[in-house]
A and B are shown apart, each in its own frame.
Chain A
Amino acid sequence: MKIQKDEVEHIAELARIKLNDQEKEKYAEELSAILDYVEELEKAPTDEIKTIDQITDLKNIARQDEVVASLTNDDVLLNAPEKQDGFIKVRQILE
């Protein structure tokens, strides 16, 4: 399956990864080769077969809605690249 450079651009944007021109070409080639290979799944006899959603048949695992001790503010902020007044700082989201 041939992936074009502009498709790679689109995918990279969805994946929030900036790529330069050279990388776009390289990944286009590599992803095409991989997708070519995995296309063989088309031959697999899956008519009437259901998908496996969870390999151990667990469903709707929940816990009690109770407040329990979790990480402290200091723990949470430990690795924040930018912080201020006990908050994680981010670039403006709304115009």
Chain B
Amino acid sequence: MNQEVSIMDEKFENLTIQSAREKLSAGTISSVELTEYYLERIKELNPKLNAFISVFEDLARKDAKDSDERRKNKQTLSALDGIPLAIKDNMLIKGKRTTAASKILDNFIAPYDATVISKLKSAGAVILGKTNLDEFAMGSSTENSAYGVSKNPFDTSRVSGGSSGGSAAAVSSDLCIAALGSDTGGSIRQPASFCGVTGFKPTYGQVSRYGLIAMASSLDQIGPITKTAEDAATLYNIIVGYDEKDATSIKSEIRSTPLGMQSETNSKFEIQNIRIGIPKEYFGEGIDSEVKKVIEDAIDEFKKQGAQIIDINLPNSKYAVSCYYIIMPVEVASNLSRYDGVRYGYSANSEQQTANSLLENYLLSRAHGFGAEAKRRIMLGTYASQKGYADKFYHKAQKVRTLIKKDFDEAFQKVDFILGPTAPEIAFKIGEKTSDPLRMYLSDVYTIAVNLAGLPAISIPAGLANDLPVGLQIIGPQFSDELILNIAQEYQKGQDELPRAKI
């Protein structure tokens, strides 16, 4: 069957989950045609952008066909039925290659589905392929990927952000309708900010981590990267939920009304009723002046619509980066110890350099399989948790984490949401920060504290600075996920359409 679809065909361009659903329901388009549109676009543009590591042409076509069949028989499964999505390559899809953008998993075929993937399959979604990331989700640019950097669709000499850069670039350049990413210190929000799309990190525990390749288990969360907050809410509603296979998963009975909310407990929040906290610490030095202006204008918009703007302090936010870069590497060192060339992954034994002993196999498999950033963080974590140093570094950092959470708890007694820039800058040039690891770490200065405190946060496009996207971050108390998604949607309703990437 000849399914030649012109990629210039307007009815497929820049669809959201919402608009695609309407067209699928009306019969204006079919899932097969829509999927073909994306597959063709990926073929044409991925060589330039490097957003995808793997593309599942046959599987996507089959899933699309099944979806159309279901629709014909009035058996549509969900809002996502027939919708083409991209998945960050650190989530397992059974029978498919999953690399975590690392040489050590270059040949790894997932033996089971991540819970989020099972949910997407049950919803009838079409999975186009796996997107690029920094190796094991460690990085802020995808420059740490074993498969090359993902380029920013607004300016291909710049990074797409990280670690979910591939997903953000794919959504931004319309290579998929929406995507999943993961966020440990800002890895959904910062690339969303850099690429001019929406990225949501749920409260820790809302979305199952089963089948997500673990980076830092007390910080990781999966979340949607989408063209609109409305789509983020749709995708979030499919993936959220208690999972007994994830011991850190939250049961819905525990998800109570967030503390400190002054309005009544219905899920529709209007901007005129809310109190917004602006932390002075987020607007000090370190933020680019053009970015600051865009954010201030966005906050003004909230003010115009009647929100109360209140200055708040987060006095321990200055310790967030240090706290994170001790706790996270300690957890990384533990989580990455499983890559030992024995049960799966790169093994020095079976490659050219034969290891003479079990120990040699460990030493060489990991030496050759891991990239520099992975090694750096494993060693940092090993150091910071050693006997003699653990008190000074790791236990101290765990106490500072308490301070950081307390700051937020106290702030949310006075305000409903906290607003600020997602990142201190626009997307930087490829290669600009690679010689100085510490400089790269500071890209996450506004996002990191959110993971440490286990809070939900969204980054939504707020405007452009020097023709590059700037993201506004909205942070809420634990379990205020739906409220954040609502407020973001309210804001976007009143927002003028922002320029898209011309790719």
Contact = CB atoms under 8 A, between A and B. Distances in A.
A95 B399 CA distance: 44
A15 to B, nearest CB: 5
A45 B403 CA distance: 8
Interface stretch (B105-113, B161-169, B459-467, B486-494): B105-113
B376 interface: yes
B375 interface: yes
A78 B204 contact: no
Interface in A1-43: 3, 7-8, 11-12, 14-19, 27, 30-31, 33-35, 37-42
B359 to A, nearest CB: 8
A29 to B, nearest CB: 10
Interface of A: 3, 7-8, 11-12, 14-19, 27, 30-31, 33-35, 37-42, 44-46, 49-56, 58, 61, 63, 71, 75-76, 78-82, 88, 90-93
Contacts of A44: 316, 319, 396, 399-400, 403
Contacts of A12: 379
Contacts, number: 168
Contacts of A91: 349, 355, 357-358, 360-361
Main secondary structure of the interface of A (DSSP, over half): loop
Interface string B340-368: 11111111011000010111111110110
Contact of B367 (A17, A34, A76, A80): A17
Contact of A75 (B112, B363, B399): B112
Interface string B312-337: 00001001011101100000010001
A61 B205 CA distance: 13
B395 interface: yes
A31 B316 contact: no
Nearest to A53: B398
| Overall SS of chain B's interface | helix
A49 B402 contact: yes
B437 interface: yes
B111 A79 contact: yes
B244 interface: yes
Interface in B94-144: 107-109, 111-112
Contacts of B205: 55-56, 58
14 contacts: A37-B325, A37-B438, A39-B322, A40-B322, A45-B403, A51-B402, A55-B205, A55-B218, A56-B254, A56-B454, A78-B109, A79-B345, A90-B342, A90-B358
A90 B341 CA distance: 9
Given A45-B403, A79-B344, 7 more contacts: A11-B379, A17-B367, A33-B438, A41-B326, A41-B397, A79-B343, A91-B358
Contacts of B382: 11, 14-15
Question: Which residue among A31, A33, A55, A92 has the maximum number of chain B CB atoms within 10 Å of its CB?
Answer: A55
The 5 closest A-B pairs by CB, nearest first: A81-B347, A79-B344, A55-B454, A51-B398, A18-B363
A46 B396 contact: yes
B358 A35 contact: no
Interface in B74-109: 107-109
A15 B332 CA distance: 11
Contact of B357 (A27, A40, A71, A92): A92
A77 B362 CA distance: 19
A13 to B, nearest CB: 8
